Amino acid sequence: MYIRKDDIVEVLAGDDKGKRGKVVRLLTEKGKVVVEGMNRVYKHLKPSRANPQGGRLSKEMPIALSNVALIDPTTNKATRVGIKYLADGSKVLVSKKSGVTLRSLSKANVKYAAKPAAIAK
């Protein structure tokens, strides 16, 4: 899961298709994400002592991760993402459309560093 809290995403399917918003919360066990202002529903509240008026509460519901995409900062469009290991062995998140590095995922690791070229005889 390469989407994190506070990322800007675009909704790919559903009633809010094409809209953009900020990620508020991740539900990793369910593979869902809550996006600010998207997938709003009304919860009807019965009158009680705490809320004597009752009424309708508008709240955001989770969206499946497959229905959102990160925004590429260079093209300002939704993009798929991939992983790439740099020469020093650090792991980065890369945009599939433009090839631009979006963020670093892990520090440099010798295990994944590029091997020096074999010495020619």
For 102-117, b/e burial (b = at least 16 CB within 10 A) is: beeeeeeeeeeeeeee
Is residue 39 domain-shared with residue 86, that is, in the same domain?
Answer: no
For residue 19, give its domain range. Answer: 1-71
Is residue 67 domain-shared with residue 80, that is, in the same domain?
Answer: no
For position 113, what pLDDT does the model report? 83
For position 4, what pLDDT does the model report? 92
39-53, pLDDT tens digit by residue?
A: 999 999 999 998 899
- pLDDT at residue 121 is higher than 60: no
Instruction: Map residue 60 onto helix, strand or coil.
Output: strand
Is residue 79 domain-shared with residue 55, that is, in the same domain?
Answer: no
What pTM was computed for the model?
0.79
In a domain, 7, yes or no: yes
Is residue 6 domain-shared with residue 43, that is, in the same domain?
Answer: yes
51-109, pLDDT tens digit by residue?
A: 899 899 999 999 999 999 999 989 999 999 999 988 888 999 999 988 899 988 888 88
